[in-house]
């Protein structure tokens, strides 16, 4: 983290060429840095720009020479993203121009912003709580439509809105108990009300924690593995589903060794489709490693598409293996190469062909239903990061201890301590009381310039 008196600068747009490139500035020297970097066509100094008013002008290098022209705005603290004096300059999206403008900003007294520093300042200046700051990062990272809308709700403050009333209620209870401990003659010993408030908080936190599983699915997506015996047509199916000639296909059994992956968006959720090595007693070290990897992949997959070569009869051992997987996760069994089959009626599993395309829509439907099941209730999901869940679980443990403390008539001090610890966890989630080292980790994961 930089000291608040530093003025920070960063290129905010992604590296590479584009229509527009943006440089951001924030901190007490923003106005003077802008005066050196940008001359408005109207001749107006930065101080006269007016908050958020776009001005057209020349953008200058560190020698004060114009190198580009474009728009810029300035906004006086506290009315800005960071809550500090703040500016953005929009130049042409050429990395050489952007580097020159950044160099010019540094030459004029700004320093390079570490990752996430703009949002960190916004958080420190009370523009948003920590969960909303994390929502900003999620918005940038979201890889599917559903993840994006959950990230938006986090950034909007939905988690904050749930947590604040819980913290406030617990703070009041904590204060009352402290009062009762210190002035036991004056303050009514209202243990029933305290217990009720703790029980309510437990219920509300449990309700919030129900979002953890679907949050993980939204962030990580679903893993679907294609499995089967060698030559069953796994790689052909994989290529047909992703509509790309990605995996090698040959008539040699044991072609695929490494697990091959591709990302698809299905029903607004990110699905990682994995092609695996054919399962059999391997003929050699490399294939054995491939088979080992395939089994690991099946274990971690959320669902499996099991391919059986339609031109061959599945063995009893294979049928047993399929049943084993079906007992633990959704498995779609496919009879492949249906274009080669004369008697299609004899199959009791879904027929598919990577050649004719038969059955592929059913496979896509399977992916869709699996994704939709995983997203059950997603419309209102509160996106929980692992950090949030861990802290909420810790708070829950403390509150449960306090609750049973009240029930058993234990010392009030102990109950108060437990409530105090639960409050610390809740405050760590929202950033009211989060150690700097944790903030360093959270904001260190942001992009530079955000
Ligand atoms: N006619 C026809 N041939 C297919 C079809 N799918 C796969 N094949 C053929 O079957 C052979 C094996 O296909 P792959 O897709 O490589 O099978 P695999 O299961 O990935 O095989 P391994 O990676 O060796 O385990 C190739 O010669 C393919 O062209 C299909 O739907 N119809
Ligand atoms: Mg293959």
- 360 alpha carbon, closest ligand: 1
Of 133, 159, 165, nearest in space to 381 by CA: 159
> Per-residue b/e over 274-297, b at no fewer than 16 CB within 10 Å?
bbbbbbeebeeeebeebbebbeeb
Query: Is 132-211+383-431 in the same CATH topology as 8-128?
Result: no
Residue 301 CA to ligand 2 center (angstroms) comes to: 18
pLDDT, tens only, 94-151: 999 999 999 999 999 999 999 999 999 999 999 999 999 999 999 999 988 899 999 9
Query: Closest-lying ligand to the alpha carbon of 287?
Result: 1
263 forms beta bridges with: 272
Per the DSSP assignment, residues forming a β-bridge with 68 are 59
- In angstroms, the Cα distances linking 446 to 52, 134, 141 are 25, 9, 9
Instruction: With beta carbons less than 8 A apart as the criterion, state whether 32 and 137 touch.
Output: no
Q: Please say if the pLDDT value at position 295 is more than 90.
A: yes
Cβ atoms of 119 and 135 within 8 Å: the answer is: no
User: Is the predicted pLDDT of residue 291 greater than 60, yes or no?
Assistant: yes
Determine contact, residues 249/240, Cβ cutoff 8 Å: no
Over range 164-185, report the average pLDDT: 90
Q: Where are the domains of the chain?
A: 8-128, 132-211+383-431, 220-374
Report CA Rg, the chain.
Answer: 29
Q: What is the mean pLDDT of residues 273-296?
A: 91
71 forms beta bridges with 56, 90
User: Which of 313, 310, 346, 349 is closest to 331 using CA atoms?
Assistant: 349
Give CA angle at 185 (184, 191), nearest 5°. 50
pLDDT of 339 reads 94
Residue 1 pLDDT grade (very low, low, confident, very high; cuts 50, 70, 90) = low
Q: How many angstroms does the Cα of residue 341 sit away from the middle of ligand 1?
A: 14
Model confidence at 378, in pLDDT bands (50, 70, 90)? confident
More confident residue, 424 or 288: 424
For residue 221, how far is its CA from the centre of ligand 1 (angstroms)?
A: 28
Q: At residue 5, does pLDDT exceed 90? A: no
Q: Are 333 and 350 in contact (CB under 8 A)?
A: yes
Confidence tier at 346 by pLDDT (50, 70, 90): low
Range 280-296 average pLDDT: 89
Ligand 1 lining (C-beta closer than 6 Å): 228, 230-236, 249-251, 253-256, 278, 336-337, 339-340, 353-355
The domain 220-374 is placed in CATH, from the list 3.55.40.20, 3.40.50.300, 3.30.390.10, 1.20.1440.230, at: 3.40.50.300
- What CATH code would you report for 132-211+383-431? 1.20.120.430
**Angstrom distance (rounded) from CA 351 to CA 332:** 11
pLDDT at 284: 87
At residue 126's C-alpha, the angle toward residues 131 and 394, to 5°, is 35
Q: Is the pLDDT of residue 330 over 90?
A: yes
Give the contacts of 276 (CB within 8 A, at least 6 positions apart): 225, 226, 227, 234, 256, 259, 290, 293, 294, 297, 298
Q: Domain 8-128: which topology?
A: Gyrase A; domain 2 (3.30.1360)
Q: In the prediction, which pLDDT does 382 show?
A: 94
Q: If you measure from the C-alpha of residue 331 to the centroid of ligand 2, how many angstroms do you get, rounded to a whole number?
A: 19
Could you give the 3-state DSSP secondary structure of residue 167?
Answer: helix
Query: Relative to the CA of 236, which ligand 1 atom is closest?
Result: 15
**Protein residue with its CA nearest to atom 10 in ligand 1:** 233
The stretch 240-244 carries a mean pLDDT of 95
The per-residue DSSP string of 81-125 comes to SSSSSEEEEEEEE-HHHHHHHHHHHHHTT-EEPPTTHHHHHHHHT
| Whether the Cβ atoms of residue 214 and residue 381 lie closer than 8 Å to each other | yes
Q: Which two tokens stand for residue 62?
A: 């560190």
For ligand 1, atom 27, the nearest C-alpha belongs to 251
Instruction: Calculate the dihedral angle through the C-alpha atoms of 132, 137, 141, 145, rounding to the nearest 10 degrees.
Output: 20
């Amino acid at each position: 983290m930089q000291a608040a008196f530093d003025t920070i600068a960063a290129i905010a747009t992604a590296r590479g060429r584009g229509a527009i490139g943006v440089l951001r500035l924030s901190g007490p020297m923003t106005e003077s840095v802008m005066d050196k970097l940008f001359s408005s066509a109207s001749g107006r100094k930065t101080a006269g720009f007016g908050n958020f008013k776009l001005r057209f002008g020349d953008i200058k290098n560190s020698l004060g020479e114009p190198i580009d022209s474009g728009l810029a705005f300035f906004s006086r603290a506290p009315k800005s993203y960071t809550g500090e004096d703040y500016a953005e300059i929009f130049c042409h999206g050429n990395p050489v121009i952007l580097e020159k403008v950044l160099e010019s900003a540094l030459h004029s007294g700004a320093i390079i912003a570490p990752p996430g520093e703009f949002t960190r300042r916004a958080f420190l200046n009370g523009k948003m709580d920590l969960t909303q700051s994390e929502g900003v990062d999620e918005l940038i990272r979201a890889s599917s439509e559903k993840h994006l809308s959950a990230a938006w709700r986090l950034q909007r403050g939905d988690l904050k809105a749930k947590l604040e009333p819980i913290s406030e209620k617990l703070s009041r209870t904590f204060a009352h108990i402290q009062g009762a401990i210190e002035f036991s003659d004056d303050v009514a010993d209202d243990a029933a009300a305290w217990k009720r408030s703790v029980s309510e908080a437990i219920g509300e936190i449990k309700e919030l924690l129900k979002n953890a599983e679907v949050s993980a699915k939204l962030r990580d997506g679903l893993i679907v593995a294609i499995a089967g015996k060698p030559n069953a047509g796994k790689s052909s199916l994989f290529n047909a589903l992703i509509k790309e000639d990605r995996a090698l296909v040959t008539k040699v059994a044991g072609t695929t060794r490494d697990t091959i992956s591709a990302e698809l968006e299905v029903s607004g959720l990110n699905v990682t489709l994995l092609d695996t090595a054919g399962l059999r007693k391997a003929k050699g070290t490399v294939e054995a490693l491939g088979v080992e990897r395939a089994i690991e992949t099946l274990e971690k997959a959320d669902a499996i598409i099991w391919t059986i070569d339609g031109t061959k009869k599945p063995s009893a051992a294979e049928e047993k293996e399929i049943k084993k997987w079906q007992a633990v996760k959704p498995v779609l069994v496919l009879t492949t190469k249906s274009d080669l089959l004369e008697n299609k009626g004899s199959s009791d599993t879904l027929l598919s062909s990577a050649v004719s395309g038969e059955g592929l829509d059913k496979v896509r439907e399977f992916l869709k239903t699996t994704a939709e099941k995983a997203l059950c209730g997603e419309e209102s999901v509160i996106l929980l990061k692992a950090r949030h869940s861990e802290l909420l679980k810790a708070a829950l443990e403390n509150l449960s201890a306090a609750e049973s403390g009240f029930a058993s008539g234990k010392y009030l001090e102990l109950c108060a301590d437990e409530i105090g610890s639960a409050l610390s966890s809740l405050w760590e989630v929202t950033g009211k009381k989060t150690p700097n080292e944790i903030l360093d980790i959270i904001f260190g994961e942001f992009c530079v310039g955000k």
